[in-house]
Chains A and B, each alone.
Chain A
Amino acid sequence: MSLVAGLDVGSTTTKLVLMESSQILSAEVSPTGPSCRKTAENLLSAALKSSGRDRSEIRRTVSTGYGRRLIDFSDRTVSEITANARGATWLHNGAVPIGTIIDVGGQDSKVISLDESGSVVNFGMNDKCAAGTGRFLEVTARVLEIDLDQLGELSLRANKALEISSVCTVFAESEIVSLISQGESVENIAAALHRSIARRVSDLVASVGLREAVFYDGGPALNRGLVVALEKELGVSLIVPDSPQVVTAVGAALIASELP
């Protein structure tokens, strides 16, 4: 297989993967920003540079994600659900094939159910709401005045189970403010937040149906606290790939490699 590119233009970050002969040559991630076209161009330049290749060598490009149709140099678009399934089954090397993919993204969460051959049989997405998504963590990290990437670790040091009952991000924010004013520790509040997202995501899992093995990807899968909270809520262990953010872009690149 010749050089191909997979591009996942997400609501929060854009991911680009260059592949050749079933090898990932380069995987780049950058905030999507106000112009996803420009971001995609920059990522492509960076990926070509780091792998020492030339743009003219790219045979096919497939784009996915919310901005998929805005990428001029893409040959085909595919939904992130199909691309995610492709990437996950390719990356997974466990004995039990993937039955369920949980993808917590920047602005939505998806649960994808696969059959033994890795084909999508069913999927669910959350509706018009940031609860149960990465956005929820972003907003709440800001209220707690801590870095997003510290939030997960902090939550693992909790010593008290607090309750954040609201599923709405906006109302949850005011619940956090009142917990702070009651003198609750940041660690305990962070743990409650992760439980809140995990509950929301597990509701979605229940509506689609849970089948092991369970693969967990998307940017927020980098957050250890959320992995632990989700495993506890679902009662199963999750397979988290090394680079959970680029799984869908890998899937897009794989689909690109099959294009004539």
Chain B
Amino acid sequence: MSECCSKKDVTIKAGDPCSPPEGPCQSAAAPTEKAGECPLTWFKNMIPNCLEYARAAKADGKRIVGILCEYTPRELIMAADGVPVCLCGGSAKTIPVAEEHLPANLCPLIKSTYGYHAQRSNPFLEMADLVVAETTCDGKKKMYELMAESRPMYVLELPQRENDRDALDHWTSELHRFRAELEGRFGLQVTNDKIREAIHVMNRERALRRALAELMKANSPPLTGRQLLGLKSSISGIPADFKQYENALKIFGNGVRTADLSSRVRVLMTGVPVVHGAERVVDIIEDHGGVIVCMENCTGLKPILDDVDAEANDPIRALAEKYYRLHCSVMTRNDRRMECLRRLAAEYRAQCVIELVWQACLTYDVESYRVKKLAEKELGIPYLRIETDYSPSDSARIAVRVEALFETVRGGGRGGSGCGRV
């Protein structure tokens, strides 16, 4: 490809978690000036906010606990006076270092996370008193062994059979052991009452984020998918964040729109998580005429769809039930994901499904065949699978596919026939 034509025709944002990408906020900021800060601006400073919060918490005697997966119940960490912080890496920059130890043909999320570890460049990881890992995928599982050589680490063993009593029992006992681990390591009691308290906090956070996501059901969504993606935090349960979620709900629930998105193609995005710093494909989709009205993945709706029963007699069992139900592609068979996609496609009136697969993510990659069939045969909407990593080299090629998909949805440039499929 010639130099001239390889000039990227999409905006690629910096992939460094410590310098969050820009997001337009100005237009939405105006009506809330008196509240001091627009929620979009607030969360644009998410990493500095979290750092400040974590440092203050640490100085206050709290433990910083790194987590790497949505299966890890933040409630237990919070009940142990811990601050759960997500450590998933979204930067291409840390990958070369990781490849000194890890195979090149491994998912970029794993490599990036490990790169931060090897470079000691993730301030949250450096602050962490404990890292909680899980056995969600083979790549992560084996990477954790290397990380554990120099970090305090605890691994939760996640059973992988769906709808299975024994599996749920095992997961419950894993959470009991985790509680004991936290108690022993930090020298405190993780009482049922404290767990219930944490459940209330997390339920509140999930409800707020869910309500925000549901605003995207509107004909003219108030935010882009990229902006909604930014409305969350690496650390759960920060009171200032909750205020801003409420603030955002007030603003965007009352007719304020950051742009007129009513003529965009409504996209249901699924697949792997879009972690902080790795939002390139989201940007490509929304720079080419789409709006992601629903993100069914770990950085979107999946972990916040269900709450935990805060009144349950056995809060550990209640936690186990919620988290075991998460429909990650490691589960077999993962029918719950298909059910969820069916429901979300209808609720959010998706016109197409775009699935993101990080390179070498075996389980999502294989399962994409089922999602494709579901979209095309059952839902009757076009499906596009994008397999990529954190490097921007294929952005132009992804853009062509996305554009062609949207032209197909709109009737293939044949002029005004509305929806070409269905």
Contacts and interface: CB of A to CB of B under 8 A. Distances in A.
B7 A119 contact: no
Interface string B409-422: 00111110100110
Contact of A79 (B7, B400, B411): B400
B5 A70 contact: yes
B174 interface: no
Interface string B1-35: 11111110100000000000000000000000000
A69 B407 CA distance: 16
Contacts of B5: 9, 11, 32, 36, 65-67, 70
Contacts of A79: 400, 403-404, 407
Interface in B263-312: none
A107 interface: yes
B320 to A, nearest CB: 40
B421 A121 contact: yes
A235 interface: no
Contacts of A83: 413
Q: Contact size class for B? A: 20 to 34
Interface in A31-56: 32-37
A69 B400 CA distance: 11
Interface string A210-249: 0000000000000000000000000000000000000000
A85 interface: yes
B411 to A, nearest CB: 7
Given A11-B2, A33-B2, A255 B397 contact: no
A75 to B, nearest CB: 13
Nearest to B410: A82
A81 B407 contact: yes
Nearest to B7: A70
Interface residues of A, number: 36
B153 interface: no
B400 A119 contact: no
Interface in A15-41: 32-37
B367 interface: no
B404 A32 contact: no
Contact of A82 (B7, B9, B382, B404): B404
B100 to A, nearest CB: 23
B387 interface: yes
B408 A120 contact: yes
Contacts of A36: 2, 4-5
Contacts of A85: 412
B139 to A, nearest CB: 20
Interface in B298-347: none
A79 B384 CA distance: 15
B404 A81 contact: yes
20 contacts: A9-B5, A33-B2, A35-B2, A35-B4, A36-B2, A36-B4, A67-B4, A67-B5, A70-B9, A80-B400, A81-B400, A86-B412, A86-B413, A118-B412, A119-B412, A119-B420, A120-B408, A120-B420, A125-B397, A125-B400
